[in-house]
Structure 1
Amino acid sequence: MCEVELNTHVYVKMILHAARYPHSTVSGVLLGRQTPGCLTLVDCVPVCHLQLPLSLSMEVALTQIDSWSALQGLVIAGFYQANAGLRDTSINCAALKAASLISEYQEDAVLILMENERLSSSPGIPPLTVFCQNSNKQWVPKDKTLIMWGHWEETQRITRQLLQAKACQRLIDFDNHLDDIRADWTNQELNVEIAKLSAAANGSL
């Protein structure tokens, strides 16, 4: 079974998306690189905070994200969701549909559910559950021994720093882009900021 590795960019941006819209269900697309035996998630694109139906807006988003990610040498590798309710651990039907659609093109695609009750600035262990499809095409929790985290302590520090700086207010999702096409749903400025913080933590600056 394929291992899954999540890097700093993915976690930070998912948390910022949830933090920007704490009273809404948010979701987005996971991007990664596939190598034999391993799927590495390296980025994500926040998509929705207004609604989750697999509507025309979602189809448009997936089409644009697919084209853009291909230029970056990435593939659409999954879907993530954070529910509005603190104790809600259900997966929305639309999220399941989106993840299943992605899995038709990416065999090892994953679905990530963020666990609101465990979200904090220092969660200790990642506050999320990673799902994969079984042989019956059902989404089930992935074996935790097959989930790897790159630089988890560093990721937590960067997340705390950006939350304290209210960087979540600068995160753009596809809903924002549909309201104003000038809004950059790829979040390049935020990506650069996360990269600089990671480089500083690793002594590269």
Structure 2
Amino acid sequence: MGSGEVRYVIAQNAYIKLILHAIKHKTSAVNGILLGRFSSSSDTDPLVEITDSVPLFHSQIGLLPPLEIALNMTEEFYSAQGLSIVGYFHANERFDDFELSNVAKNIGDQIHRYFPQSALLLLDNKKLEALPKSKERSPVMQLYSRDASRWKLLGSGDGSSSRFTTKEPTANILLLDYISSEKWNDIVDFDDHLDDISKDWVNADLFSK
């Protein structure tokens, strides 16, 4: 029997895509949407499997109309693949800011209304910076979940919480390879797409280039 606590597992490409988006726009707050599936049985802990992600904004991050357009397009596209919106990703503008902003909480709340087990991931810049030396395998993100009143920190994947892990143990190794080759230049987010609709917000070919 499981403990009943929801576990979160993020696929390698979904994880790397979000971090590259944050690196591309280092001087701005950025955000993204998590896509995946929820499964639950009496024999195992409930599981949210994050299989893909969509980088959203780097300039219009707090504006509601672009957000609604992005959420509607994301939901329509991924529902055809059997995936749902299961969470939200946020990276703060300041390197040393580890607090959830009101924007992050508000967007997280909106997703939580439709998916109560939703995850809110916040980029941990210090862990990301230390990655080349630390050889850390755990996600360089902090995991928050919401109870009846607020978002609370569950862990950052560093062993203090096994409830949030990467699906592939090599995710950070590959991430470092992409950082060294400046792969972030290929990332397209919704801001880019709204400026030029020919740009692919799904980033379908990102990892095949």
> Which TM-score bucket, shorter chain as reference?
0.7 to 0.9
Structure 1 counterpart of 2:31, from 27, 30, 33:
27
Shift in alpha-carbon separation, 1:109–1:88, aligned structure 2, 3 A: same
Deviation at 1:33, TM superposition (A): 1.1
Tell me which amino acid in the other structure corresponds to 1:111: L
Q: Distance in 2 between matches of 1:48 and 1:92?
A: 15
Residue of structure 2 equivalent to 1:105: 114
Structure ranking higher in helix proportion: 1
Structure 1 counterpart of 2:152, from 140, 155, 164:
140
Q: Distance in 2 between matches of 1:4 and 1:70?
A: 20
Structure 2 counterpart of 1:13, from 13, 17, 37:
17
Deviation at 1:151, TM superposition (A): 2.0
Q: Secondary structure at the match of 1:65?
A: helix
Deviation at 1:192, TM superposition (A): 4.0
Q: Secondary structure at the match of 1:189?
A: coil
TM-score normalised over the length of structure 1: 0.88
Q: Deviations over 1:83-116 (max 9, x none)?
A: 1211111212122111111111112101000011
Q: Where does 1:186-205 land on structure 2 (aligned, <5 Å)? A: 186-192=202-208
Deviation at 1:156, TM superposition (A): 1.4
Q: Distance in 2 between matches of 1:53 and 1:15?
A: 19
Residue of structure 1 equivalent to 2:139: 126
Is the aligned partner of 1:67 residue 2:76? yes
Residue of structure 1 equivalent to 2:192: 176
Number of aligned positions between the proteins: 191
Q: Deviations over 1:137-189 (max 9, x none)?
A: 3110125132232222x111211121122110110000000100001000000
Q: Secondary structure at the match of 1:94?
A: helix
Q: Secondary structure at the match of 1:169?
A: helix
Q: For structure 2, list consecutive stretches of 5 or more residues without a partner in the other structure.
A: 41-45, 156-160
Q: Check conservation: 1:83, 1:116, Cα contact below 8 A.
A: no
Residue of structure 2 equivalent to 1:203: none
Q: Secondary structure at the match of 2:114?
A: coil
Is the aligned partner of 1:84 residue 2:97? no
Q: For structure 1, list consecutive stretches of 5 or more residues without a partner in the other structure.
A: 194-205
Q: Check conservation: 1:109, 1:132, Cα contact below 8 A.
A: yes
Q: Distance in 1 between matches of 2:174 and 2:10?
A: 15
Shift in alpha-carbon separation, 1:85–1:23, aligned structure 2, 3 A: same
Q: Check conservation: 2:32, 2:56, Cα contact below 8 A.
A: yes
Deviates more, 1:116-125 or 1:156-165: 116-125
Residue of structure 1 equivalent to 2:158: none
Tell me which amino acid in the other structure corresponds to 1:29: I
Shift in alpha-carbon separation, 1:177–1:7, aligned structure 2, 3 A: same
C-alpha RMSD over aligned residues: 1.5
Q: Distance in 2 between matches of 1:168 and 1:72?
A: 26
Greater than 4 Å deviation, 4+ residue runs:
none
Shift in alpha-carbon separation, 1:76–1:191, aligned structure 2, 3 A: farther
Deviation at 1:57, TM superposition (A): 0.3
Q: Check conservation: 1:54, 1:97, Cα contact below 8 A.
A: no
Q: Secondary structure at the match of 1:48?
A: coil
